[in-house]
Amino acid sequence: MATLDPQMKRALAARVRYYHELGIYDFYKRGSSAPAGEVAIAQLPPIPVIEEDMPRKPKTVAPPPQEAEILATPNPEAGVTDPVAALRIIREDIGDCTRCRLSQQGRKQIVFGVGNPKAELMFIGEAPGADEDQQGEPFVGRAGQLLTNMIKAMGLERSDVYIANIIKCRPPGNRTPERDECDTCSPFLMRQIAAIQPKFIVALGSVAAKTLLAINAPMSEFRGHWYDFRGTQLAVTYHPAFLLRDPRQKKETWKDLQMVMKAMGLPMPSKSVE
């Protein structure tokens, strides 16, 4: 096996680190007659050039996108063991974020996250809605009330869990977040997860599932399975907003929550999601 030169090692490490931050861990080898170093790089999808990892080029090269800068720079909360302090540092690092177009499309404020910083269970949704944007807290509108009922049906309180979203700004008209918006904002969510270190995550809806797992699949395939997400067990169920539109799926959601409860060792109440 050919030995990689230091420059190639740095470039490869930067790419792997980038995809790990997005939750992508599995890469598949394709046959090639190229040298080992070139094969290793070619097997990874392209990402923006990180200047420190590549040969010096004229200053006409475009600067890397904001999300690549976030991932290439050591996190300011690195080494902080107290999750409360770590989350505070992450929130301060986000600031009054203008990293994507949503900052210019009517959002009122950042909706960071809420709950127990030492929670064993974390719920991750899609994006804030109008009520969340107004109050600065995730899941406080009608969908949030249903999520609260879901949590209570599990025998828990909202204060026992931590709740966050893939993106932290309300998309205009509550539209589905665009891929680049998720890519820009999700590294902060990854840092929240790393600070909290939950044992279990429930992804609410397809946007959360696809972003966290980097898998493009329908909800029918996501549900009913456990996924290993950086050492944390992750399950997928319907988003509460979807359940408001199609209450028939509440029974299926209850099955998903019971799977989570069993894994957590929680007692099985007879009450279902209402």
Q: Residue 270: what pLDDT?
A: 66
In this prediction, residue 219 carries a pLDDT of: 95
Q: How many CB atoms lie within 10 A of CB 92?
A: 10
Q: Burial, 61: exposed, middle or buried (Cβ in 10 Å; 0-12, 13-18, 19+)?
A: exposed
Query: Residue 229: which H helix or E strand, with range?
Result: strand 227-229
Residue 157 CA, distance from chain mean position: 22
Q: What is the pLDDT along the chain (274 residues), one digit of tens a residue?
A: 455 566 666 666 666 665 555 555 555 444 444 444 444 444 555 544 433 344 333 333 344 444 444 445 679 999 999 999 999 999 999 999 999 999 999 999 999 999 999 999 999 999 999 999 999 999 999 999 999 999 999 999 999 999 999 999 999 999 999 999 999 999 999 999 999 999 999 999 999 999 999 999 999 999 999 999 999 999 999 999 999 999 999 999 999 999 999 999 999 876 666 6
Structure confidence at residue 268 (pLDDT): 87
> What is the model's pLDDT at position 269?
77
**How many angstroms separate the CA atoms of 85 and 114, rounded?**
14
Domain ranges of the chain: 6-72, 83-264
Helix boundaries (H) for 123-218: 130-135, 142-153, 179-196, 206-213
Pair type for strands 232-237 and 121-125: unpaired
The pLDDT value given to residue 74: 77
User: Which residues are registered as beta bridge partners of 39?
Assistant: none
Rounded Cα–Cα distance for residues 243 and 195 (Å): 30
Whole-prediction pTM: 0.74
**pLDDT computed for residue 169 by the predictor:** 97
Residue labelled with tokens 């409360």:
84
User: What CATH class is the domain 83-264?
Assistant: alpha beta
Looking at residue 25, its pLDDT comes to: 52
Q: Which residue has the tokens 């840092």?
A: 191
Q: How many CB atoms lie within 10 A of CB 117?
A: 17
